[in-house]
Amino acid sequence: MQYPVYLQLSGTENVYAIQGPDRFWECTSLGAQTLCHDVLATTWPERQRILDMVADDGPWERIDRAAFEAQWNKGNCNMESTAIPLDVLEHVELSPYTTFGIEAKARWFADVTSVDGLRAALDWSRSHGVEVFVLGGGSNMLLHGDVEALVLRIQIHGVEVRSDDGRHVEVAVGAGEVWHDFVMHTLDQGWGGLENLSLIPGSVGASPMQNIGAYGVEIRDHFAWLDAVRISDGALQRFTAEDCAFGYRESVFKRQEKGKWILVRVAFHLDRESPLRMGYGAIEQELQHLPEAERTYRDVSDAVIRIRQSKLPDPAKIGNAGSFFKNPTIPAEQANALLATHPNMPNYPQPSGEVKLAAGWLIEQAGWKGHNRTTHGVHDRQALVLVHFGGATGKEVWDLAQDVMASVKDRFGVSLEPEVNQVGLQD
């Protein structure tokens, strides 16, 4: 079954849009009123109701979208606008859409501006027998060659306050919004929580996929829920924090559900009175000129931006994907052995009993900081970042990454893992 499925209850004006096996929109008439609901089927009776609704022998009749929309709009239900017609382009250069700027072409390419537009793109891919590849903000990927697929650039926008009790706010954001722009919007509104995540490149939709984090804060600390569309059948599903199974730079979308979903909207819990988090990195040092009682979310954000700009290259000037490697976590015994010979090694004990190390420090100590291979290299101010000066291939950058990983393994016995997604990497 492909979703959505539009239905009308026989003998009534009540209409329904089945969004997936555990979600539907209903629009019911009550006298002169038209009421609309987005129903999440979290219990078996609700899921059974959906099965009954799509059964052929029930009192619900299939209708088209236009009939559903006509009734839905009577209730001013704020349904998304009809999607812009899908425009599929061919042989599109992708380097302008990725922060690494590696030259590679998409066999087919389309911008997606709504859930309906996304479903139309998925229908197109199925009818043409091609795979889909989600570009998002293009900030966490290294392309190893042309992409023989329908490349989708998610451009779903919008910021909606779902609830606000005067202190706590739940805000839902389109997956295509630029992450840093959204963080700046939260500061403009006086909402605390995301200020430590300022200046991270990429889109809102990419943020929960890898549970982005910086300066002591991760997405999961303020995550409420997300909506995603299943590639196989167009089902729209709500994921809770538990469903996402967040880990360090990980989520279910990078493991069990990898390649199965496209995120369309993400919601966050924010707080006008949340405490400032200044104990990580150089934030406290950056703010020492301000009395602690006078510091604001904006001050913390500005400090983070200054720190990041002092260490990290601007993708608009030098191609890069930010931190190329994850900070490794190792057993405490191994960490203690390393500290015995490297007492200045940064180390961060974890609740699990393991110890997290700073990948950038390991790489720098192995002699890679500022390493230059003419077209690409290791950044001269932050060894965690691989940079593209122009003219390199994805394979050449990956070869450098492998050399770095092998060197760190040889010197410290620590295995590094790439944080950046490798697209089209041949085994």
Residue 48 CA to residue 52 CA, distance in Å, equals 6
DSSP 8-state assignment for residue 140? S
Selected catalytic residue, list 125, 198, 207, 323? 323
Ramachandran area for residue 353 (φ above 0: left; ψ -120 to 50: alpha; else beta): left
Give the pair of three-digit tokens for residue 64: 């088209």
Selected catalytic residue, list 23, 249, 265, 308? 249
DSSP 8-state assignment for residue 379? -
Annotated active-site residue 419? The verdict is yes
Cβ atoms of 239 and 260 closer than 8 Å: no
Give the residues across from 154 on adjacent strands. 112
Annotated active-site residue 274? The verdict is no
Residue 411 CA to residue 391 CA, distance in Å, equals 31
DSSP 8-state assignment for residue 419? -
Do the strands 347-349 and 421-423 form a parallel or antiparallel pair, or are they unpaired? unpaired
Annotated active-site residue 198? The verdict is no
Residue 11 CA to residue 166 CA, distance in Å, equals 44
Give the pair of three-digit tokens for residue 340: 């015995």
Residue 204 CA to residue 197 CA, distance in Å, equals 12
Tell me which residue of 88, 115, 7 sits closest to 54, measured CA to CA.
7
Half-sphere exposure of 134 (CA within 13 A, CB side): 29
Residue 92 CA to residue 395 CA, distance in Å, equals 20
Cβ atoms of 331 and 388 closer than 8 Å: no
- The residues carrying an active-site annotation are 249, 323, 419
